[in-house]
Amino acid sequence: MAYAEADQRIRPLYMPFHEALRALLEESLRSFGCAVLIVWHSMPSGGGPAADDDNGFDRPDIVLGDRYGTSCAGVVTAEAERILRRLGYSVVRNNPYAGGFNTEHYGKPSQGLHALQIELNRALYMDEDRLERSAGFVQVREDMTAFAAEMASRDWTSLGAGMRGAAF
């Protein structure tokens, strides 16, 4: 693919998304002195025999990626893990997914900005072969809604950088 074609695909969606996200995070930093970004992803239920990341073993329900503690304060990851385990999910950290572009780019705990990636095992809510919702879809939706509400109810202001409006 030529650069011009890639640019035409990226510019109308990718760039506006990141501009809007950056603006929201900056507003949170100005208003509260900190921000907690949770980035949701889905992962296949197994890596298959050729996968290097997990040696083909079935994956846990959820992988929390905080770039080995560099993209958010440990208390954020620990609280996410506690809530998700209480909801009945198996949870691991950083393996096989430690976080990607968003956690690396936006996660700056020293500036009051914390980013956590959550990989949700697709087998929990869909038939991966037919790409259709499974019987577990409604329960997962309810659980993740409860998780988000509980995380949002926490007072994270102690995670600030000590200065309102820190730039990133």
Q: Where are the alpha helices (DSSP H) in the chain?
A: 3-10, 14-32, 74-86, 101-106, 137-153
Q: Of the candidates 111, 106, 101, which has an alpha carbon nearest to the alpha carbon of residue 29?
A: 111
Which amino acid is present at 85?
R
What average pLDDT does range 150-156 have in this prediction?
94
Is pLDDT of 5 > 90?
A: no
Which amino acid is present at 167?
A
Q: Where are the alpha helices (DSSP H) in 33-166?
A: 74-86, 101-106, 137-153
pLDDT in tens, 54-92: 554 578 999 999 999 999 999 999 999 999 999 999 999
Cα–Cα dist 26/14, whole Å: 18
Is pLDDT of 3 > 90?
A: no
Which amino acid is present at 101?
F
pTM of the model: 0.86
